[in-house]
C-alpha cells in the first residue's frame, strides 16, 4: 500500500515536497563559500546560456539562485525517477524540457525532442540547465549532445559545481552525492566555454573536450573550497572498498593453502611439478638486461592473441626483451613451441601480494601488458604500485562479469583506474571498461580476427587423411566437459545416414582425453586416442586428438567444425581459426565471450547455431552432404572475418608508444 502511494501522483508530490524542504535545509544550515564572490552576477552573465553540471552532482541545483533574473529550463529525462526530480525543480520555479541523450544505448530517451525544445528555449531567451554526462556513463565524460546544442544555438556553456564538506556517495554510475546539512557549501561558477565553430564532427569533439575540461576544473575547485574529497577524483577512485580490502586480506591469510592447492593441481595435471616455484614468484631464469615488456595471457586463447604481437616486436625491435606469463600447462607448452627466440616464458604467480612483489622485484618490467580478461586484483594493484605503465589489450568481459563489477565500485574502480590504457574488442566493451573506472578506454577491434591461423603440419595432415580412407569426417574442437557426450550422441545420429562417418574430438584441455574416451566407449562407440598412438581403421567412430599444438591440422583436415564451449555455459571459443583453415563453423548458443563476432557471423550466414545433439547432427549432415551450401557458409564467413580485421596495427601502435626511442646503428667512419 505504501509502495503504491509513493508511485502515485500524490506520492510524488509528497516526496518532492520533502526533497525541496531538505535542499533548503542544507542551504540554510551550511556555511556558503562562493567563487567568484558574486556568483549570482556571473551565473547569468552570458544569458541565455547552457548551464552545465555533472550528473552525480545536481542535488543542490534547484536552489543555486533562488531569485532568478531570467527564465531557466532544466532538461530532465523521461524515466520514472525523473518525475520526482521534475516535481522538485518545479517547486523552485524551474520549467522542464523532457528528454535526454541515449549515450551508447539504442533506446530512445527523447534526445531529439529535447534538442529541438532546448533550441527553441534558447532562441526565446531562456537559459537551459543540463548534465553534461549521459547515463549509463562513464561518469565525468561529456557527451556530444551538449556541444551540439551549443554549436546549433551559438550560445556558450557555463560550467558550475556545488560541493559540501559532508555528503553521502551512492554506488551509482555517477557516484550520485547526497549533500548533508551543517556543511561548508561551495558554489563555483566557471568561465564560459565558447560554442564550437561549426557543426563539423571535429569541431563538436573539440567543443565536447573543452566542456569536459572546464567542468572537471570547476568541480575540483568546488571540492577544494568545501574541504571535501571528490568521490570520482583519481585519488578517491584508487581507494579500495571493503570488498577489495577483504579480498586482499583473504589472499594473505590463505598462504598455508597455496601449497595444498598447487599439490592438488599437480596431481590433476594442471601444474608442472618442477616449475611450481614460479607460482610463488620465484623466477626460473635471470632477468635479461634492457627494456623488458611483460605480457600476461591466461590460457591458450589469450596466448594466441598475444603471440603475433610478440613476434612482431621481436622482429622489429630486437633491443626489446619479452617476458610472457601464463597460468595453464596447455598454454605454457603452446608458448614454448611458438615463442620467438630470446623471449622468456614463466608461470604467473598466484594472486597473493608477497608472491607478486617477489616476481616484480626480480623481473622489474618496464611495461606490463595484460591480455583480454586477466584482471586479478593483487596483480593489477601491485604492478601499478611499482609505477610500471599498465595496459589491458583485446579487453573483453562477459555480461554477468560486468554486472558483478558494477555492483562493487569499491573493488572495480581502484582496479580499472590502475590501467593507463585499455584497448577493448569493441565500442560496447570500451564503454563498460570506462564505466568501471578505466581513465582511457578505446575500441581497437579483436586481435583474434587478425591472428594467423594455427600452424598446420603438412605431413601429419597427409597421414591422417590417408588413415581415414576417404571417409566423411567432421570435427568437434575445443570441447568442454558436458559437450563430448552431446558430440557422441550426434555421431550416433549421423551414422544412421552416413554409416562410415568419423568424428574427431579435440578437447580444450588435452588431459581430459582419457575421460572422454571412457565415456564414449561406455556408449558403445569405438574410440582411438592420438596421445596413445592408436591406429585409425574403418571401424573407428571417434578419434580423440588429445595432444598440444595440433588443432590447425584438424581444422585443415575437416570440412565442418563445431566450436566447443558453446553448448555449455562456458562462453564459446574463437571461430576465426577454423574459418581461416577452410572449415564451415557450427556453434551452440552460449558464445558470450565472442558475442559480437558470432553475431556478425550468424547474421551474415557465415556460421550456423545448434542447440543439442539432434540439431548438431542435422547441421553436420547438411553441410557434409551439400557441398554448395558448405562452400557458401565458408565464403560468407571469410568475408565477415575480413571486415573484423584491423586490431593488430592499432594495438601495436599503442604498445610501441611506451617503448624507448630506437637507437640507430653506429656505422664505422
Question: Catalytic residues, which ones?
Answer: 302
**Pairwise CA distance, residues 623 & 633, whole Å:** 9
> Nearest Cα to 442, choosing from 452, 429, 455, 453?
429
Q: Which helix (H) or strand (E) holds 164?
A: strand 157-164
Strand partners, 424: 395, 443
Strand residue runs (E) in 327-453? 344-347, 367-371, 390-395, 421-424, 441-443
Residue 286: partners with Cβ closer than 8 Å, 6 or more residues away: none
> Nearest Cα to 490, choosing from 545, 547, 573, 564?
564
Residue 566: partners with Cβ closer than 8 Å, 6 or more residues away: 572, 573, 587, 588, 589, 590, 591
Give the Cα-Cα-Cα angle 318, 324, 328 (nearest 5 degrees): 155
**Pairwise CA distance, residues 521 & 515, whole Å:** 10
DSSP 339: S
Pairing of strands 321-326, 184-189: unpaired
Residue 421: partners with Cβ closer than 8 Å, 6 or more residues away: 391, 392, 440, 441, 442, 654
**Pairwise CA distance, residues 463 & 465, whole Å:** 6
**Pairwise CA distance, residues 49 & 251, whole Å:** 54
Q: Say if residues 554 and 506 touch (Cβ distance below 8 Å).
A: yes
Strand partners, 325: 296, 346
Amino acid at each position: 500500500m505504501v509502495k503504491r502511494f509513493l508511485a502515485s501522483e500524490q506520492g510524488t508530490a509528497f516526496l518532492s515536497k520533502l526533497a525541496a524542504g531538505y535542499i533548503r535545509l542544507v542551504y540554510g544550515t551550511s556555511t556558503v563559500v562562493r567563487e567568484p564572490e558574486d556568483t549570482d552576477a556571473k551565473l547569468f552573465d552570458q544569458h541565455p546560456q547552457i548551464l552545465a553540471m555533472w550528473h552525480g552532482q545536481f542535488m543542490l541545483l534547484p536552489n543555486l539562485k533562488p531569485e532568478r533574473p531570467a527564465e531557466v529550463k532544466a532538461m530532465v529525462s523521461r524515466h520514472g525517477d525523473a518525475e520526482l526530480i521534475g516535481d522538485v525543480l518545479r517547486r523552485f520555479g524551474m520549467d522542464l524540457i523532457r528528454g535526454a541523450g541515449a549515450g551508447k544505448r539504442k533506446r530512445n530517451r527523447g534526445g531529439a525532442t529535447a534538442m529541438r525544445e532546448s533550441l527553441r528555449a534558447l532562441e526565446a531567451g531562456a537559459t537551459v540547465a543540463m548534465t553534461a554526462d549521459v547515463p549509463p556513463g562513464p561518469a565525468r565524460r561529456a557527451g556530444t549532445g551538449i556541444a551540439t546544442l551549443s554549436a546549433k544555438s551559438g550560445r556558450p556553456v557555463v560550467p558550475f559545481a556545488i560541493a559540501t564538506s559532508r555528503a553521502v556517495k551512492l554506488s551509482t554510475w555517477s557516484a550520485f552525492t547526497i549533500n548533508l546539512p551543517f556543511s561548508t557549501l561551495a558554489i563555483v561558477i566557471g568561465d564560459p566555454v565558447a560554442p564550437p565553430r561549426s557543426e563539423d564532427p571535429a569541431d563538436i569533439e573539440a567543443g565536447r573536450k573543452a566542456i569536459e575540461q572546464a567542468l572537471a576544473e570547476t568541480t575540483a575547485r568546488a571540492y577544494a573550497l568545501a574541504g571535501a574529497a571528490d568521490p570520482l577524483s583519481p585519488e578517491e577512485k584508487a581507494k579500495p572498498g571493503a570488498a577489495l580490502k577483504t579480498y586482499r586480506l583473504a589472499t594473505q591469510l590463505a598462504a598455508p593453502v597455496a601449497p595444498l592447492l598447487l599439490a592438488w593441481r599437480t596431481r590433476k595435471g594442471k601444474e608442472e611439478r618442477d616449475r611450481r616455484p614460479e607460482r610463488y614468484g620465484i623466477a626460473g631464469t635471470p632477468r635479461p638486461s634492457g627494456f623488458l615488456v611483460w605480457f600476461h595471457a591466461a590460457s591458450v586463447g589469450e596466448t594466441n592473441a598475444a603471440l603475433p604481437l610478440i613476434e612482431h616486436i621481436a622482429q622489429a625491435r630486437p633491443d626489446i626483451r619479452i617476458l610472457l606469463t601464463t597460468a595453464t600447462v596447455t598454454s605454457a607448452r603452446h608458448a614454448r613451441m611458438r615463442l620467438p627466440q630470446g623471449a622468456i616464458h614463466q608461470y604467473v604467480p598466484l594472486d597473493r601480494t608477497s608472491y607478486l612483489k617477489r616476481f616484480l622485484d626480480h623481473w622489474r618490467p618496464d611495461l606490463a601488458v595484460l591480455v583480454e580478461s586477466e584482471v586479478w586484483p593483487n596483480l593489477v594493484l601491485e604492478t601499478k604500485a611499482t609505477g610500471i605503465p599498465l595496459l589491458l589489450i583485446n579487453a573483453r568481459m562477459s555480461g554477468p562479469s560486468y554486472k558483478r563489477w558494477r555492483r562493487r565500485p569499491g573493488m572495480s574502480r581502484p582496479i580499472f583506474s590502475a590501467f593507463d590504457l585499455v584497448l577493448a574488442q569493441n565500442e560496447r566493451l570500451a564503454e563498460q571498461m570506462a564505466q568501471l573506472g578505466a581513465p582511457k578506454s578505446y575500441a581497437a577491434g579483436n586481435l583474434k580476427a587478425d591472428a594467423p591461423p594455427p600452424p598446420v603440419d603438412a605431413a601429419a595432415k597427409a597421414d591422417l587423411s590417408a588413415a581415414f580412407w576417404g571417409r566423411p569426417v567432421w570435427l568437434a574442437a575445443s570441447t568442454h566437459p558436458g559437450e563430448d557426450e552431446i558430440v557422441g550422441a550426434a555421431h550416433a545420429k549421423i551414422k544412421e545416414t552416413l554409416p562410415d562417418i568419423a568424428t574427431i574430438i579435440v578437447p580444450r584441455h588435452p588431459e581430459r582425453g582419457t575421460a572422454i574416451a571412457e565415456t564414449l566407449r561406455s556408449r558403445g562407440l569405438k574410440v582411438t586416442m592420438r596421445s596413445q598412438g592408436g591406429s585409425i581403421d574403418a571401424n573407428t567412430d571417434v578419434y580423440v586428438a588429445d595432444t598440444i599444438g595440433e588443432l590447425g591440422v584438424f581444422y585443415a583436415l575437416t570440412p565442418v567444425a563445431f566450436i566447443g564451449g558453446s553448448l555449455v555455459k562456458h562462453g564459446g571459443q574463437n571461430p576465426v581459426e577454423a574459418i581461416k583453415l577452410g572449415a564451415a563453423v557450427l556453434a551452440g548458443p552460449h558464445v558470450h565471450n565472442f558475442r559480437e563476432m558470432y553475431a556478425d557471423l550468424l547474421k551474415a550466414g557465415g556460421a550456423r547455431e545448434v542447440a543439442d545433439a539432434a540439431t548438431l547432427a542435422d547441421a553436420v549432415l547438411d553441410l557434409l552432404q551439400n557441398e554448395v551450401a558448405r562452400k557458401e557458409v565458408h565464403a560468407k564467413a571469410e568475408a565477415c572475418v575480413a571486415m573484423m580485421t584491423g586490431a593488430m596495427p592499432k594495438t601495436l601502435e599503442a604498445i610501441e608508444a611506451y617503448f624507448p626511442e630506437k637507437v640507430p646503428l653506429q656505422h664505422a667512419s
